[in-house]
Amino acid sequence: MSTPAAKRLFAGPVLAAAVCALAGLVLFQFFGNASRGWVDTPSVFWWAVSQWLDPNADSEHGWLILGLSAWLLWRNLRANEPGDEARSHIHAVEPRRTRSDAKANGHSQTEISNLKSEIAAPAAAMLVALALHAIGFVAQQARLSLLAVLLFAWGVLRLGGGTRWGSAALFPLAFLIFAIPVNILDSLGFWLRVWVVDASATIARAAGVGVLQSGTQLVAPDGRYNYDVAAACSGVRSLTAMAALSLLAGYLNFNGWGRRALILLLCLPLVYLGNVARIVAIIFAAQIGGTTWGDLAHEIMGYGIFAIVLGGVLAAIAALRRWWPEEAEVGGRWSVVGERRTEDGVSSEALAKEEGLRTKDQGPRTEDRGRNSESGGAAAYIVLSVILVLSLAEMLFLGKIAASPARGEVGIVLADGGTDPVDLPAFLGTEWIGRRTAVTAIEREILPPDTGFSRKLYVDLSNPSRQVLLSIVLSGRDRTSIHRPELCLVGQGWTVTGTFSHRFRHPEPGAGFIPATLLRVQREVQTRSGRSIVPQLVAYWFVGGQTTVASHLERVLQDSWNRVSRGRADRWAYVLMQTDAGDGEAAALARMQAVLDGTLPVFAPAARLAQNR
């Protein structure tokens, strides 16, 4: 025999939300991830969790964000329990309708409006989430799919729990964005770490410590210590974690988003100062006591960054409360604590009783609530039917895409077998000889197995010190085969000092020019006469099936557009050249052009370029 509580539990909206949640779980678990290079799984959940478990992914803070989000949801729900409708801004008191309106229309306009709001918001959220996931899957952008998971989860909670659950879950689910692996702060965090190394080296030298800087590495002139501030292509765990904690502190202490955003932005300079203090402390400790002291300072200052950033954030919050208080803090009619509104000097409990007495005769009658429940249940089942049908259709569609062979084009010439680019020539006239450069074991290990390589180091026969590295990396089915070169260059010990654009001339008539990005890089070395700077010039560009672009962002946008709008997944070639610039940039560019004059007709002939236009 079912109880009234059980009937309410399995009422229309709750049951519909539970079934929608199950459909979403199946979709995101078995058809959630199309990017199978770094993490070979169809589940977008495991795609994220596996990186939270991997210490090399710098995403372990995801567990902290997940726990904090769960606590925030519990806190917001507790602050707006069902008995608090009269005093909570989450629940609006329904105006009283007359009996004549009820008889004439069956439902009042307010009831109809409330019903549409209760159903439209979660339905729209889940529909947008399904569309966003389809785009993310086709474009191999798992982060879009994770955003879709959060949006779909909000729709489920809003459908089953009403306005109370929807409002309570809004910030906690948005807060989970910080748990997405390699998040939106990655590029900013990378350059922040480069600036930290520059500032730390400058401070150390000003104090008399002759430290050498190579990319993100700080090396003692006598070799006593060598510290790498950031790994080759690492994430920005400290920046992400501190930004999340700063936003959380602002959310808990203020109600206006202006002050919350200010606290979030404040964490950026504080993270910079904290990291500079940490690196400087490590250098000084290692200079005095060797690597033992340096390692000890490294461990201690790991906590020191949190102390500096959180201390600064809390001090800023205290200052804002004193010098720029919110309306609630300066004696306004009401104040907001968490999500509750209270009268001046009156407790929340007392206000609830007062509001309850004031509005007890304004709520809908019992028969009206029953009719609303029946109408809401019917509408919820309509939403459920639409979501189920679309989820099933999306599963079939994404499953077909995952199983079908890749439809795409290649903008360069392939070697026999179709995996690698064509082998680069061994001789360029009588001036240059090409020496084969092996692909490292690390590259083979971290890149998908269908990634192609072709690489040679060209040496000027008249002057062997003049050399040009030409490397081609060809992506496979997975777009993660190639990425921005700046990150790995810095990890290899090079400091990027400048960036500019350049166009290389194609040697064949009518082939036009090749757009490229040029990087000025340098490395510090210790010589007998002291510290010496080794400058080099790096050029790179990307060749798609029908276009050539000079930047990583252009490639990502073009590739995503082709995948979504045309269903075409091109195999992109990442071309990189590097040479010494000690004799000037003009001479370095001339060497690069000379090597391209002999190699472009082999791996990117004019006929292929014209065909792809």
Domain map (residue ranges) of the chain: 4-182+364-403, 186-235+256-325, 427-612
Cβ atoms within 10 Å, residue 491:
17
CB 155 within 8 A of CB 126: yes
Determine the pLDDT at residue 89: 38
Determine the pLDDT at residue 420: 92
How far apart, in whole angstroms, are the C-alpha atoms of residue 123 and residue 516? 46
Q: Which residues of the chain have pLDDT under 50?
A: 1, 5-7, 9-10, 84-106, 183, 185, 231-235, 331-372
Determine the pLDDT at residue 391: 96
With 0.95 as the threshold, say if the pTM is over it. no
Sign of CA dihedral 26, 31, 33, 37: positive
Report the C-alpha dihedral over residues 488, 52, 554, 472, rounded to 10 degrees. 40
Strand partners, 335: 342
Determine the pLDDT at residue 403: 82
User: What's the pLDDT tens digit per position in 511-561?
Assistant: 889 999 999 988 877 666 666 788 999 999 999 988 899 998 899 889 888
Determine the pLDDT at residue 360: 42
How far apart, in whole angstroms, are the C-alpha atoms of residue 557 and residue 473? 19
DSSP SS3 for 412: coil
How far apart, in whole angstroms, are the C-alpha atoms of residue 165 and residue 182? 29
**CB-count exposure of residue 586 (10 Å: 0-12, 13-18, 19+):** exposed
Determine the pLDDT at residue 529: 66
Determine the pLDDT at residue 371: 42
Determine the pLDDT at residue 522: 85
- DSSP 8-state code for residue 130: H
Residue whose tokens read 């100062």: 273
Report the DSSP pairing between strands 226-228 and 334-337: unpaired
The DSSP H or E segment spanning 16 is helix 12-30
How far apart, in whole angstroms, are the C-alpha atoms of residue 495 and residue 484? 15
Here the contacts of 601-604 (C-beta below 8 Å, separation 24 or greater) are 601/507, 601/508, 602/413, 602/422, 602/424, 602/425, 603/412, 603/413, 603/421, 603/422, 603/424, 603/454, 603/472, 604/411, 604/412, 604/413, 604/506, 604/514, 604/543
